[in-house]
A and B are shown apart, each in its own frame.
Chain A
Amino acid sequence: MSTTVKSSPAIALQQVPNAKGRGKEKGGRRLAALFLAPTIIGITIFTLVPIVASLTLAFFRWDIISTPEFVGVDNFVSIGADPTIRRAFLNTIGFVAVAVSLQLTVSIGLAVLIQSKMPSWLRTFFRSAFFFPLVLSAASVSIIMSYLFNQNFGLVNQIIGLVGIPAVPWLTSQAGAMVVIILVYVWQNFGFTFLLIIGGLSSIPVEMYEASSIDGATGWKQFKNITLPLLSPTLLVASVMAIISALQIFDQPYVITRGGPGDSTRTAVMVIYETAFKQLDFGRAFAIGIVLTLLIMLVTAVQFRLSRRFVHYN
């Protein structure tokens, strides 16, 4: 008894903080759940439900105002048989290959130039100037670009006309239209990749360059053997993001060329939009969307797989 009496305060002393701690932990969890709830509810309503709905409705024929009709895998089968959709996917892949390569090259080149010796105010100016197009509305930029590249009255043809080059059918020839779309897209989007690379370059120790200089390495050798390897983790992130974004291109071709001439600038997301809202075939549009999602996942997986070979974390 006495033992019990004696030991009670000690036990109590030990238990009270534990009970309080558990209570705090519980309260903390509740608070965390409370703070997370809006995000979870938002993701559920605006992301998960639409994903499940589109996965389901891809197996239906649905014009948005009538009752959906189950058609099995017909929507997926018809994708392969439709030459417009095939062309749109090929265009998208070609666009991604060229636009992302150009975006990364331009971003790396400009980032390396900006990091070289120059007054800090000039560096700040260039960083802002390169990022600025990203904050503009893609639709507004595209409308202005369609004026600039107009074959008859556009400023671009007027400028090149000054040096005797005949008017280029930028928007009315298949190759010209795709060139314009790529240029406009890269001009507007390279700012983000550029900022990522600036961040990556800043994290490369200056001592590496100093040491290599002592060993006689300069310019291209330093870039190839120090900058690129140490920048590779950043480049991986930048390229993954750039590819995912480019695979979803819509605004520029929709506003500037409406996918033309012919189908030459029609993209995967454009056919999703057109199938849904022009042809009122929402089930098929969902099916195309799923194919595009799978393509994005595949490309990203391949990138990560390849990154084991080319990305250096140390």
Chain B
Amino acid sequence: MSDVSRRLALSLLGVGAVGAVGASWPRLTGADIPGRGSESLNVAILGNAQDAASRVNLVKAFSAANPNIKVRIQAIQGADWGDFFAKILTMVAAGTSPDVVLVATEGAQLFAERLAEPLDAFVQRDQQEIQDYFDDVHPSLIEAFMYQGSLFQLPMDFNSANMYMNTGAFEKAGLARPGDHWTHDDFYNSLTAMKKTGGKQFVPYYWTNRLFGGVVPWLYVNDTSFLKETRSTGGSWFWDKFYANDPTRGMRSGGYQWLEPNAEDPRVAESFEFLRTLVAEGLGTSPAQGGGNELVAQFASGLIGTTPAGGYWVEGLHEAGMAEDAFDVQFFPKWRTQRHQFGAAGYAIMKTSTRKDEAWEWIKFCATKEAMELAMPLPTTTPTRRSMVNEALYAGKGPAHWKVFYDTLDEFPSSGPIPAPPQQAAVESALIKNVLGAVTGSAANIKPAMSTLQRDLELALRRN
């Protein structure tokens, strides 16, 4: 037996001690990566850890009702929905796909085409349990999540592009709250009046260059869009079962389709020309790409007269110190139509999930009124359940005409979702990069800008 030196013995002892400490130390392993662990239903949402924490009560209530299903909320940060979807795709590629993903209109068709499981069998199986939800939710919101005749998501919240108004600026200009069916000319006249009395830094109309609330609402009210909108066949199985008695049943379809660009439609140029005029006359801002961060603070400071936004803005304005009577909301102005744009979000079950039944239980639970009240205690968005959009939600925060948020769907049932085909991210990039060139400079810029937009959209839609 060979001799062991003191140095070697001490070294071995040291290595052993370090190894023992290392082995017993609580540490992350591959199983801790969300999606790899097999114990929980992983639900991915767009947001940060605080957003995940805000759903603690929702998860607790779900666990109480479904003690055998563990839920893990995974907050994924992103600058916008596009960033969020890119990260979900990366997770799918890495084999760590979540089971359920909260998907907004922007990604609804991308998920429906490639990633999500249709809910058709689930809703038909549990019709009795889920009928209460459909009875409370406007069919326009459901139709936005139908794709080629199948239902892929149950929308939980939505926001229409309504018009927010600074009541102080209106009063100062001698303007009353506009009527429900005010026109784009009335809108223009209101801006002109506010500009005269608003002061040096005041902006009568602030808008941002993005898919929601940018140029699109002006296209919709002018009865056009930058993509040709058609509807899929199919979906009767759903409408006949769940919305058979709805007065708008006849106009429902198997989902929206955006297959071709439409930027060279003269009405598109007409809408752009209207916006260009607002910018040229100093009535509206030049919309910066990626802008809008400063919007809430500036609106609350009284520096902005009007801006398009949805119910999601109420809590932000309240927290920014805006009194409930300092702002109000009205439908978007009428042009050829008064069709509104809206965006919504709901949970989708991933095709790759091995827990589809549990995922459906989560979705079904989240669609109950109890769960939606836990998920949306504040007016940070508009709940899709009509019964939840009530005086209590807006008490002490405003606006006085909060009913506008849901009435938009009832008054204008042809209102449609953000144009978001499966290639939405590329389509959105094509749109926003061509908007500024069209609305700044001379009227002669519009035609070439629309031609470039048409070309860019063709390229974007060609990609699958």
Contacts and interface: CB of A to CB of B under 8 A. Distances in A.
A259 interface: yes
Interface in B83-102: 83, 86, 89-90, 92-93
A297 B451 CA distance: 37
Contacts of B381: none
Given A151-B285, A279-B460, A279-B463, A262 B290 contact: no
B429 A152 contact: no
A169 B222 CA distance: 29
Contact of B436 (A82, A147, A262, A266): A262
A23 B195 CA distance: 88
Contacts of B440: 169, 172-173, 261
B425 A172 contact: no
Interface string A229-241: 0000000000000
A119 B282 CA distance: 52
A278 B89 contact: no
A64 B290 contact: no
Given A153-B294, A172-B286, A257-B288, A262 B437 contact: yes
Contact of A172 (B83, B115, B287): B287
Interface string A259-271: 1111100100000
A100 to B, nearest CB: 25
Contacts of B294: 147, 150, 153
Contacts of A172: 286-288, 436, 440
A150 B440 CA distance: 16
A210 interface: no
Contacts of B460: 279
Contacts of B114: 65
B290 A279 contact: no
A257 to B, nearest CB: 5
B82 A261 contact: no
Interface in A128-168: 143, 146-147, 150-153
A150 B114 CA distance: 39
Interface string B200-240: 01010010010000000000000000000000000000000
Contacts of B437: 261-262
B423 A263 contact: no
B289 A258 contact: yes
Interface residues of B, number: 40
B320 to A, nearest CB: 14
Nearest to B114: A65
Contact of B463 (A150, A255, A281): A281
A76 B83 CA distance: 26
In this complex, which of A143, A266, A279 has the most chain B Cβ atoms within 10 angstroms of its Cβ? A279
A126 interface: no
A82 B90 CA distance: 25
B89 A280 contact: yes
A64 B433 contact: no
B426 interface: yes
Interface string A12-31: 00000000000000000000
A143 B288 contact: no
A216 to B, nearest CB: 56
B298 interface: yes
Contact of B429 (A65, A82, A146, A278): A278
A283 to B, nearest CB: 12
A201 interface: no
B203 A259 contact: no
A172 B463 CA distance: 29
Nearest to B210: A258
A203 B277 CA distance: 61
A186 interface: no
A310 interface: no
A104 interface: no
Given A64-B93, A279-B423, A280-B463, A260 B432 contact: yes
Contacts of B79: 255
B196 to A, nearest CB: 17
Contact of B86 (A256, A262, A278): A278
Interface of A: 63-65, 82, 84, 143, 146-147, 150-153, 169, 171-173, 255-263, 266, 274, 277-281
24 contacts: A63-B464, A64-B89, A64-B92, A65-B93, A65-B114, A65-B115, A84-B456, A146-B293, A147-B294, A152-B201, A152-B203, A152-B285, A152-B298, A153-B294, A171-B291, A172-B436, A173-B440, A257-B290, A259-B433, A261-B437, A262-B434, A278-B82, A278-B425, A280-B463
